[in-house]
A and B are shown apart, each in its own frame.
Chain A
């Protein structure tokens, strides 16, 4: 069965410091995509970063980088130089099928609080 696990219900980080949000996944499918989304208190889901299972290099998008360790089945999100506006829920997600109907499965989420 496919599964996404985020073991940190809540995290605190000091402003301007880096923080790592953990995500592990389980699948026997060789083709999959891993995503991170940010959800502020207003509710909208904001796409942050994507990593494909066949990608050789770790994905980076501005202050976001994905530490992809395929053998460990982990896809941790690293946020550098945290800002107060980074306070939000963060969800790791996986999609298995390369087909157009592939479902996106979410982890439990991590609530990040950035302290001034």
Chain B
């Protein structure tokens, strides 16, 4: 089945560092990918929709200059947390949907997530 690969799975770094997270669709093309943030025992909150070849669409309250998204190809989207601080520590998950087929029927496939810890 469709697989989404997310890397790295865990990052621990110092405050002020920028961190890049990659999300790849391995066996399908994804013109649209989604980035979520999740706190422990909480729901997934959509941060932004990543569009191949164009600017990402950010949800209300998400700082686009803080969370840079690039979707340079049909199989790769990246999220860069710039100048990360301890409050950015969280679980970040990407998701993509196989574009081959009708809209709502296709389930979204998720990466395994990245646990980001800023010291």
B100 to chain A, nearest CB (A): 10
Q: Cβ of B31: which chain A residues have Cβ within 8 Å of it? A: 100
**Minimum CB–CB distance for A88 against chain B, Å:** 12
Task: Indicate whether B103 reaches chain A with its CB closer than 8 angstroms.
Answer: yes
Residue on A with the closest CB to B115?
A: A43
B41 touches A89 (CB 8 A): yes
Query: Is A100 a contact partner of B105 (Cβ separation < 8 A)?
Result: no
B79 contacts A by Cβ under 8 Å: no
Interface size class on chain B is 20 to 34
Chain B 20-52 near chain A by CB (<8 Å), digits 1 or 0: 000000000001101000000111111001010
Q: Which residue of B lies closest to A45 (CB)?
A: B110
- A window 34-73: CB within 8 A of B: 35, 37, 42-45, 47, 50, 52
Q: How far is the CB of A34 from chain B (nearest CB, A)?
A: 9
B51: chain A residues at CB < 8 Å are 101
Contact A100 B103 (CB under 8 A): yes
B49 engages A103 (CB within 8 Å): yes
**B102, A44: Cβ atoms closer than 8 Å:** no
With A101-B32, A103-B46, A108-B43 as known contacts, state yes or no: A47 contacts B103, CB within 8 Å: no
Residues of chain B contacted by A37 (CB below 8 angstroms): 110
Q: Which of B's residues lie within 8 Å of A, judged by CB?
A: 31-32, 34, 41-46, 49, 51, 91, 93, 95, 97, 99, 102-105, 107-110, 112-113, 115
30 CB contacts below 8 A, A to B, read A33-B104, A33-B105, A35-B108, A37-B110, A43-B91, A43-B112, A43-B115, A44-B110, A45-B93, A45-B95, A45-B110, A50-B105, A52-B104, A52-B105, A91-B44, A95-B108, A97-B103, A97-B104, A98-B102, A99-B103, A100-B97, A102-B103, A102-B104, A103-B34, A104-B34, A104-B95, A106-B45, A108-B43, A109-B41, A109-B43
